[in-house]
Amino acid sequence: MTKKTTDLPQSKEDQKPSVGLVLELEFMLFPGRQLTYDAFKSVLKTSQITLEQAAFSRYCLQRSTEKCLPGLLAAFGKKGLAAETIAAKIKKQFESSLHDSSCQPVPGLMALLKKAADNNIKVGLLSFLPDDNARQLMERVPLNQSACLHVMKKEAFDLPTPDSWLSLLKSMAVTPRCAVALVDGATACKSALAVGMCCGVVPDCFTAWQDFTGADFVAENAADLKLNEISALLSTAHFRKRAK
């Protein structure tokens, strides 16, 4: 008579770790940079400054409007203008545009996140908006119940910082090596790589010229993203490859 065996609990080695897909809410899932450019262009036009894409890309990609505006005004020979007043108007218009009902998530990214959630991949969204504003924006994201929103309470010259990614991952209970960050610029790419995440870049017309050295892939647009290719970055074989 054979003895019936009981199922043993899985060892830590056998248990699959949680994996995640992370990105910024207002500057990736929503077209925050284009809205920022539109706000800069509109407000500066009242001061007889015609802002083109090249100048915006050179002086205004940092997130702090107050800190990047003086350099831009100096380049146009407008040092005498009240930078603080102009910055306040730009921020007000940006926030108004972001929360207008016509502003919706990027379709290609939204489709990707839905597939990820359906495949048990945790979705994390990082925001630097005031908490109430971030949650209002999340109401337009069909993943509201399954996505993890993490709102940072800090200011920085350029964002996101490495610690902001780590804070998001901690709230998701996902380790950095088990996560892929989708970003649109060099700063976000470098900070994601710095904490040990895989990183995919979908540059926009303002960041396409930047250096994305170290990124796991660079896609021309969000519609080109394939979940199976992103998931492959989280396989144990890929972990071994990265560790060599």
Percent of the chain scoring above 70 in pLDDT: 88
CB of 110 closer than 8 Å to CB of 29: yes
- Residue 131's pLDDT is what? 92
Q: What is the mean pLDDT of residues 184-210?
A: 96
In Å, what is the CA distance from 100 to each residue of 25, 29, 147? 15, 15, 22
Tell me how far apart the alpha carbons of residues 90 and 37 are, in angstroms, rounded to a whole number.
9
Asked if pLDDT for residue 7 goes beyond 70, the answer is: no
pTM over 0.85: yes
Q: How far apart are CA 169 and CA 107, in angstroms?
A: 24
pLDDT value of position 144: 66
How do residues 64-88 score in pLDDT, each as one tens digit?
A: 899 899 999 999 999 888 999 999 9
Question: Please, what is the average pLDDT of the chain?
Answer: 89
Answer whether residue 26 shows pLDDT above 60.
Answer: yes
Residue with token string 């015609």: 50
The reported pLDDT for the residue numbered 145 is 74
The domain made up of 20-30+105-243 has a fold known as Rossmann fold (3.40.50)
